[in-house]
Amino acid sequence: MRKTIALSFVPAAMLLFCGCDHSPKAAVAEAKPAPSAAPASVQKASEATTSAPAAEMVKIAGGRFLMGEKSEPDAPPHEVSVSSFYMDKNLVTQEQYQKVVGSNPSRWKGDKNPVEQVRWSDAVTFCNKRSELEKLEPCYDLKTWKCNFEANGYRLPTEAEWEFACRAGSTTAYFFGDTPSKLGDYAWFDKNSGGHPHPVGQKRANAWELFDMAGNLWEWCNDFYKPDYYQESPRENPRGPAAGENKVVRGGAWRFSDDTCRAGYRYNESPGYADVCFGYDIYGFRCVRKVTGGVN
């Protein structure tokens, strides 16, 4: 995994490369201060629903917020508006993935553990199969990998949706404050994970009842990664560049430092369209779906 911008302060250990070697790879970043700014309007999520197989979702009421972080060269703060959407309360578990796909690629086995060693392409394939099981319209064309945002099925969150949901109305570096002093209450990261991911939902949720939005596993987003995308991003429902080499991942992971768990921290990885190997054991995902008049 790599941030494809030239950052002189990022050590070589920060870089992860794709391949068939599944040995754990980690990144450690030096903590930096993270100033924040208040969003213009934030609506608290409420309303929860249940969606098979055994995945509780939370309705995130749309609104405006200040996306990004001044301390990150590829994330200049800018105002963004997102529409309402449903998001999985937890990372997709191995039990859920097995039920939908029929296999479990994870290294760290456990029904309630988040599924890992999944590529972006595996995650969107799961989204389509989950949609089909619930008789919803799949969002992805698996030949072109394009997402139909008008479909009512499951998809990965856009980067803007992910950050909006992670922040949960907060304007600080972390969704619970500006320093990582309380991170252990909310996240599994390099200092407390014991060298492996953990079952979902064991730490405290954010203000919108979403668990593991920081740490445990990096979460795949739908967007292609581009270092200067924020400079051209539309204000309404940004969906990332039209093309690119890597996809955005967010949230930090069990082998990574507290710095990477900040709400505005961006990273990226190859989507693995054709690679026969599974992804690393630091990548997972959660699904979202659009709110329509027919959804309660």
pLDDT per residue over 88-135, tens digit each?
A: 999 999 999 999 999 999 999 999 999 999 999 999 999 999 999 999
Q: Which of 274, 288, 27 is nearest to 159 (CA)?
A: 288
Architecture of the CATH domain 45-289: Alpha-Beta Complex (3.90)
The more confidently predicted of residues 7 and 155 is 155
Distance CA(239)–CA(158), nearest Å, equals: 6
Place of tokens 């988040």: 114
* Beta strands, E only, the chain: 46-51, 55-60, 63-67, 78-82, 85-88, 140-141, 146-147, 218-224, 247-250, 266-269, 283-284, 288-290
What is the per-residue pLDDT for 280? 92
C-beta neighbour count of 5 within 10 angstroms? 15
Provide the β-strand partners of residue 64. 41, 81
Tokens of 122: 């595996």
| pLDDT one-digit tens code per residue, 158-214 | 999 999 999 999 999 999 999 999 999 999 999 999 999 999 999 999 999 999 999
pTM for this entry: 0.84
What is the residue extent of each domain of the chain? 45-289
* Phi, then psi, of 146 in degrees rounded to 5: -80, 150
Q: In a 3-state reduction of DSSP, which class is residue 51?
A: strand
Confidence of residue 30 (pLDDT cuts 50, 70, 90): very low
Distance CA(240)–CA(222), nearest Å, equals: 8
**CA–CA distances in Å: residue 17 to residues 78, 141, 203, 258:** 30, 27, 30, 21
Among the residue ranges 23-27, 111-115, 231-235, 274-278, the one predicted with the least confidence is: 23-27
Confidence of residue 54 (pLDDT cuts 50, 70, 90): low
Distance CA(47)–CA(92), nearest Å, equals: 20
Mean pLDDT of the chain: 85
Beta sheet of 283-284, edge-to-edge order: 266-269, 247-250, 218-224, 283-284
Provide the β-strand partners of residue 80. 65
Distance CA(267)–CA(225), nearest Å, equals: 8
Say how far residue 208 (Cα) sits from the centre of its chain.
15
Strand 63-67 with 55-60, pairing: unpaired
Q: Which of 213, 194, 211 is nearest to 254 (CA)?
A: 194
Tokens of 37: 């700014």
Tokens of 25: 């790879």
Confidence of residue 216 (pLDDT cuts 50, 70, 90): very high
Tokens of 107: 């290294």
* Beta strands, E only, 83-210: 85-88, 140-141, 146-147
Residue type for position 10? V
Place of tokens 């600080």: 172
The mean pLDDT of 232-238, rounded to a whole number, is 97
Distance CA(259)–CA(281), nearest Å, equals: 19
Largest Cα separation within the chain, whole Å, is 50
